[in-house]
């Protein structure tokens, strides 16, 4: 796209600086609306001062809409905070200013007119007890000017011109170490992952061992593990930076760290000192690869209905049951297995977590262990680690491998890891969205139709502009939730919001990217087809979007 007509850089930044105060005031208006929606819903689902699950279920659509309303509000707040931080250190670029303006106006208009909870579900203000009068401030001169500026075609066109020059929005990490890590993993992804990713996907291969070894050398498996146990102890923001970059190359590459993080968090938070000393250093070094063995064929997200049994006999437990959707199940050395130790205790209270060692398998012989068998679940995308159904038949486990050596703590122990897992999943989604954007921008620049590159057609440019805007918004709410976690703040709601939005953004950006490719996007040889398949799973694993919205809504309504 011709970049000769770019608006003066100083003019763009000055234009946005003049609007910062209005953005702050708009956020205050949205906070008032948020309280009104909360009161409206509480009148239907709060009983005796507590949120009633049964009553909440009766207003599920509306309450999930509230979760989305609040996700948008917090996303706008964090987008503005991102720009303010950049501006305070004079690191804000004109493109950053344009993304702020476009993102703020676009999400505001969706809040006013209807938020897409999914491609077929729109939550409108009247569903949440709001009226047109509540949005009358949109018509006030100073606010309408700000909103219209961000919605203008000029802003979107300028965004795409900057993209075509090779510019992207600032990450806003604000830390030299994090920036160095991002550069390191960007280089690794560009050189080692992206050139091979489509072949791994098409051949349905495991990511090669030599790539795992290089990832281990870079510290992928040790980032969140404390230094005293051989890790780097760098926290969740660092994990997000690494995860996004690896997922930009291949979703499974970004997800390998999740396996280590889930197991590492379980052991760090719930394990005995002996268990920590035994397992954490090996997980951190990559010597021990882990897999989570929680889900069962008929339970899905209803973990309280698990039927896998673990029966104690002297010094050993015997585990029997069937599990499904076991990611990286064959090429793993340690399973974290959730099983019922007390059959008299229904629901979550009778569950316990076990650390089950196993010999590492491969594609030809996935489960070389007595009492363990299984089969691969063939999937559309998210390849590179493989999914399995497995059967556990009289698996013997020492009492010392009961996590924390306490029965009945399994669900509580697992809950303590959900924040981290959802933050990391949001980061994976941002990486997938960025991948779709990168691939589609390059294609739009290279592909010519009717005598010019297709990026010069308005519909293509508008798609690309919204793709970069939404990816930036998803990135900032994800980093916000990670900072909250690193600051030891409870962030289950924030993590849920990040996962909710980032997963939807990954899918919409990938879908738009395939549309930009036209018929070629449907061909397996083009990477965008793989990215679309990968993007689709993000709305399902680590808590489906509906479950996520339920958690966020219940948390919000119970917070005040």
β-bridge mates for residue 50, sequence order: 47
The residues pairing with 46 across neighbouring beta strands, listed in sequence order, are: 51
Task: Determine the Cα–Cα distance for residues 263 and 280; give it in Å rounded to an integer.
Answer: 9
197 three-state secondary structure: helix
Q: In terms of C-beta density within 10 A (0-12 exposed, 13-18 middle, 19 or more buried), how is residue 188 classed?
A: buried
**Active-site residue identified among 179, 405, 542, 546:** 542
Residues 6+ positions from 157 with CB-CB distance below 8 Å: 461, 465
Q: Please state, in angstroms and rounded to a whole number, the distance separating the CA atoms of residues 187 and 331.
A: 26
Residue 409 neighbours by CB distance under 10 Å: 19
Q: Check if 542 is active-site.
A: yes
How wide is the angle at C-alpha 480 spanned by C-alphas 265 and 16, nearest 5°? 165
Closest CA to 74 of 337, 426, 418: 426
The count of other CB atoms within 10 Å of the CB of residue 34 is: 17
Pairing of strands 351-357, 309-313: unpaired
| CA dihedral sign of residues 439, 261, 196, 251 | negative
Strand locations in 304-459 (E): 309-313, 316-327, 334-340, 351-357, 372-377, 387-398, 448-449, 452-453
Q: Distance between CA atoms of 334 and 288, rounded to whole angstroms? A: 7
> Known catalytic residues?
542
């Amino acid at each position: 796209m011709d970049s000769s007509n770019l608006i003066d850089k100083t003019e763009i930044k000055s234009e946005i600086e003049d609007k910062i105060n209005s953005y702050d005031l708009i956020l205050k208006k949205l906070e008032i609306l948020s309280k009104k929606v909360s009161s409206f819903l509480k009148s239907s689902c709060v009983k005796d001062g507590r949120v009633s699950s049964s009553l909440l279920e009766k207003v599920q659509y509306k309450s999930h809409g509230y979760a989305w309303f609040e996700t948008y509000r917090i996303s706008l707040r964090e987008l503005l905070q991102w720009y303010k931080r950049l501006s305070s250190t004079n690191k804000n670029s004109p493109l950053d200013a344009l993304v702020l303006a476009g993102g703020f106006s676009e999400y505001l208009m969706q809040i006013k007119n209807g938020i897409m909870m999914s491609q077929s579900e729109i939550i409108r203000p009247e569903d949440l007890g709001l009226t047109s009068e509540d949005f009358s401030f949109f018509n006030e001169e100073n606010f309408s000017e700000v909103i219209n500026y961000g919605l203008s075609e000029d802003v979107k066109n300028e965004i795409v011109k900057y993209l075509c020059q090779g510019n992207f929005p600032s990450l806003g990490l604000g830390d030299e170490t994090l920036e160095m890590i991002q550069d390191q993993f960007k280089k690794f992804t560009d050189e080692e992952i992206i050139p091979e990713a489509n072949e791994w996907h098409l051949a349905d291969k495991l990511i090669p061992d030599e790539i795992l070894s290089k990832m281990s050398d870079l510290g992928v498996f040790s980032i969140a593990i404390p230094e005293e146990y051989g890790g780097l102890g760098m926290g969740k923001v660092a994990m997000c930076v690494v995860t996004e970059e690896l997922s930009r190359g291949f979703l499974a590459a970004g997800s390998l760290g999740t396996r280590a993080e889930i197991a590492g968090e379980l052991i760090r938070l719930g394990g005995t000192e002996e268990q920590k000393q035994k397992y954490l250093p090996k997980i951190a070094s990559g010597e021990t690869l882990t897999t989570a063995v929680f889900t069962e064929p008929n339970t899905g997200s209803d973990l309280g209905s698990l039927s896998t049994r673990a029966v104690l006999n002297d010094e050993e437990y015997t585990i029997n049951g069937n599990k499904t959707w076991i990611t990286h199940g064959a090429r793993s050395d340690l399973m974290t297995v959730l099983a019922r130790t007390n059959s008299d205790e229904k629901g979550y209270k009778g569950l316990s977590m076990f650390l089950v060692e196993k010999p590492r398998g491969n594609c030809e012989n996935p489960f070389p262990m007595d009492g363990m068998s299984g089969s691969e679940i063939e999937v559309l995308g998210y390849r590179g680690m493989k999914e399995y159904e497995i059967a556990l038949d009289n698996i013997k486990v020492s009492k010392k491998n009961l996590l924390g050596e306490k029965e009945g703590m399994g669900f509580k122990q697992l809950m303590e890891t959900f924040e981290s897992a959802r933050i990391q999943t949001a980061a994976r989604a941002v990486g997938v969205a960025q991948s779709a954007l990168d691939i589609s921008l390059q294609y739009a620049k290279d592909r010519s139709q009717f005598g010019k590159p297709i990026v010069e057609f308005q519909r293509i440019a508008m798609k690309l502009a919204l793709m970069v805007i939404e990816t930036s918004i998803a990135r900032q709410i994800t980093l916000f939730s990670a900072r909250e976690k690193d600051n030891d703040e409870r962030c289950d709601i924030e993590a849920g919001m990040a996962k909710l939005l980032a997963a939807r953004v990954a899918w919409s950006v990938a879908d738009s990217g395939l549309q930009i490719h036209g018929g070629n996007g449907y061909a397996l040889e083009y990477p965008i087809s793989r990215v679309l398949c990968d993007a689709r799973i993000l709305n399902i694993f680590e808590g489906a979007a509906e479950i996520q919205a339920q958690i966020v809504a219940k948390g919000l309504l119970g917070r005040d």
